[in-house]
Amino acid sequence: MPPARLTERQDQAYEFIRAYVRTRGKPPTLQEIGAALSIRSTNGVSKHLRALEQKGYIRRTPNEARGIALVDAAADPYAFDTEVPSLLLVSRTDSAHPGRLRLRPKGALFTDPLFLEAADEEKCLIGRAGDDGMSGAGILKGDYLVIEEKKWRQLDDGVIAAVLVGESLVARTFHLSGNRFRLRPANRTYSEETFTVKDPACHVIGPIRSVMRRL
């Protein structure tokens, strides 16, 4: 059902509520709405609100002071931290201490859900590519990498993953074979490396979901 049309008066009430919420941080009372629309009786206002609720523009909590909620509030003021994911931009760590990744973040970046693919926002973070090892695949040094934290065990063979090798965070194609894995670069001047799964010199963070670069 496409949202039912509002009458002139109902629209005025709705717009007043929107404006009020945005500027005051809370919904208005019936009397305040009445004052704004020159309606002396709260009952008059009440009828408009009932209409707005039936047409799906607002939701109300009975017997509650200021119990008015904009239905698309999610798409409006508060959606904020829930709708626009803000991902941690992690700082330098070394492979021996992967637990420090989320500590002391350098900042956070708003990231459109599109770039999280189907990944869980909670498990994602952003790191910067430390070398040009994947330049052949369009990932350059300094690029911002949206990484989904995941155990090496759950990684598909051949995905591009972010890995901490010693002091630097790099992107590589990941290949698991037994209890060791190969990290293959996409740039002939870099060479393939193999590590055992628990070598402290190397920690696999997870697959790279997106790449972003400032020019």
Partner DNA sequence: CCTCTAGGTGAAAAACATTTCACCCATCTA
Partner DNA sequence: TAGATGGGTGAAATGTTTTTCACCTAGAGG
- The residues binding a second copy (CB under 8 A) are 21-27, 29, 65-66, 69-70, 73, 76-81, 84, 109-112, 114-115, 117, 135, 138-140, 143, 160, 207-215
Give the distance, in angstroms, between the CA of residue 90 and the centroid of all CA atoms in the same chain. 15
Helical pair 42-54 and 30-37, crossing angle rounded to 10 deg? 100
Q: For DNA, which is the closer residue by CB, 55 or 182? A: 55
Q: Which string of DSSP letters, residue by residue, matches 186-201?
A: SSTTS--EEEETT-TT
Least Å from the CB of residue 18 to a second copy: 11
Report what 8 binds from a second copy, DNA, none; CB cut-off 5-8 Å by kind: DNA
Q: Does 150 bind DNA (CB under 7 A)?
A: no
Q: For DNA, which is the closer residue by CB, 23 or 179? A: 23
Instruction: List, in order, residues 6 or more apart from 135 with CB less than 8 Å away.
Output: 141, 186, 187
> How far is it, in rounded angstroms, from Cα 195 to Cα 210?
25
Q: Does 102 bind DNA (CB under 7 A)?
A: no
Q: Does 1 bind DNA (CB under 7 A)?
A: no
Q: For a second copy, which is the closer residue by CB, 37 or 137? A: 137
> How far is it, in rounded angstroms, from Cα 61 to Cα 191?
64
Q: Greatest CA span in the chain, whole angstroms?
A: 80
Report what 22 binds from DNA, a second copy, none; CB cut-off 5-8 Å by kind: a second copy
Least Å from the CB of residue 8 to DNA: 5
**How big is the chain, counted in residues?**
215
Q: Which of 16, 35, 36, 47 is the binder for DNA (CB under 7 A)?
A: 47
